[in-house]
Amino acid sequence: MIQNPIYVTQPYMPPLEEFIPYLQQIWGSKILTNNGPMHKNLEQELVEYLNVPEVALFANGTLALLTALQVLRISGEVITTPFSFVATAHSLFWHSIKPVFVDIDPQIFNLNPEKIEAAITPRTTAIMPVHVYGKPCDVENIQRIADSYGLKVIYDAAHAFGVQYKGQSLLSHGDLSTLSFHATKVFNTFEGGAIICPNAKTKQQINDLKNFGFHDETTVVAPGINAKMNEVQAAFGLLQLKHVDQAIARREEIDRLYRKELEGIEGITLPSLPEDTKYNYTYFPVLVEKEYPLTRDGLNNRLREHGIIPRRYFYPLISEFPMYRGLPSATSQNLPVAHKVAESVLCLPIYPALADEEVAKIASLIQGNYT
C-alpha cells in the first residue's frame, strides 16, 4: 500500500479557524438555504471578482447546465464536443436533446469551428462548446457561425473560473456560460456551480427554475427543479474567494516548474498555454506520443506504482459511452482528432499544496528515473 498518494488534484482548504465565524453566523440566523445572506453575498462577490453582469449560484455544475438549456428553451439537436466530462452531453440527454458531436482542434482540444457548419441541420438550435482545461474556445468564430444560423451558444465553462480572454471575462461570451465549483476545481464550494448570464431578467427566470419554478409564494411558472446552493456551501465560497488569487498564483508556479522539467523529453508533448489569456492553470495535461518509451497507459501505471495518481481526462470520449455511441456523429471517422488526443492525454497532479519536490519527483519519473 502506498502511503499518501499524490492525486491529480486536491481541494484548496482555507484554514479551518477562518471558517468558524461563517458557521456561527449561519447558526445564529438559522437560514440554511433558499437564497439566504451567504448566497446573496457570494453572488455579489462573484459578479465583482469575475467581472460579469449576473451570477446565479447552483448546487452543482450539472444542474447549472440543465437549467441553462431549459431557460433558453433549447430543443432538437445541439452541436457539442466529445472531449469533455460526460456531464456536458448528459445535460442534453436529460432534455431529450440529441447531441451532435463535432471534432476538436488539435492544438487547443476545444470544438473545432471549421467542423461546425457541416454538422448544422434544420433541427439544430444551439452550440454547446467546452473551454476544456480552462483554455478559451475560438469564441469569435463560434459566435460568427451561431449568428449566421440563428443558434444559441451555451459555454460549458466548468473549468474556466476566473479566466480572462483579451482583457475581458471569458465567461461573458455566448448566451450563457456555466461553471462548476466541485471539490476538484480551482474554486470550490464542496459541490456547486453557477450560470453566468447577461441581464437581470434572465437571472430572475433562472432563479425561478432552480427553485421548482416558483416565481412567488403561489405562482409556479415552469416545471423547475431544486438546484439551490445552500448556505454552508456559499459561506465556504466566500472564504475561498479571499484565497483564490493566491491559489491560482501557486498553480502558475507549478505549471512553470513542470514545463521547465519536462521540456525536451522525447515523446512528451506539452500543450501550449493559451494566447491573449489570463489563465487559471486548472489542469496540467501532457500528450504521451509514440516516441515515448511507454504507452500513455504504461506511463499512467508506472506513475501509480510510485504513488502518483494522474488522470486520463477525457478518456474515453463521451461519444464512446453506451448511451451515445449509436449516434451517427459518434463514429471514430467523424472524430479522429478527439480520439488521438483522448488516447494520448495524461493530466498530471496540479494543486496549490503540491510541493516543488513533488513536482520534481513526478518529472523525474517521467524522465525515466523509475528506481
The residue ranges of DSSP E strands in the chain, in sequence order, are 6-7, 54-58, 77-80, 98-101, 124-128, 152-156, 164-165, 168-169, 176-180, 193-197, 268-269, 277-278, 284-288, 308-309, 345-348
CA distances to 136, 220, 224, 226 from 214, in Å: 35, 4, 8, 10
Provide the minimum distance between the beta carbon of 30 and ligand T4K in the complex, in angstroms, as a whole number.
27
One character per residue 114-143, x = contact with ligand T4K (rule: CB under 6 A) = ----------------x-------------
Going by C-beta distance under 8 Å and a sequence separation of 6 or more, which residues neighbour residue 27? none
Please spell the DSSP secondary structure of 314-362, one letter per residue.
T-S-GGGSTTTTTSGGGSGGG-HHHHHHHHHEEEEP--TT--HHHHHHH
One character per residue 147-176, x = contact with ligand T4K (rule: CB under 6 A) = ---------x-xx-----------------
88 binds ligand T4K (CB under 6 A): yes
One character per residue 220-249, x = contact with ligand T4K (rule: CB under 6 A) = ------------------------------
Provide the minimum distance between the beta carbon of 28 and ligand T4K in the complex, in angstroms, as a whole number.
28
184 binds ligand T4K (CB under 6 A): yes
Q: Which stretch binds ligand T4K (CB under 6 A): 13-21, 58-66, 74-82, 329-337?
A: 58-66
First to last CA, the chain: 17
Cell numbers placing 210 = 432552480
Cell numbers placing 81 = 464536443
Provide the minimum distance between the beta carbon of 91 and ligand T4K in the complex, in angstroms, as a whole number.
8
Provide the minimum distance between the beta carbon of 60 and ligand T4K in the complex, in angstroms, as a whole number.
4
One character per residue 305-324, x = contact with ligand T4K (rule: CB under 6 A) = ----x-x-x-----------
Interface with ligand T4K (CB under 6 A): 7-11, 60-62, 84-85, 87-88, 130, 156, 158-159, 180, 182-184, 193, 309, 311, 313
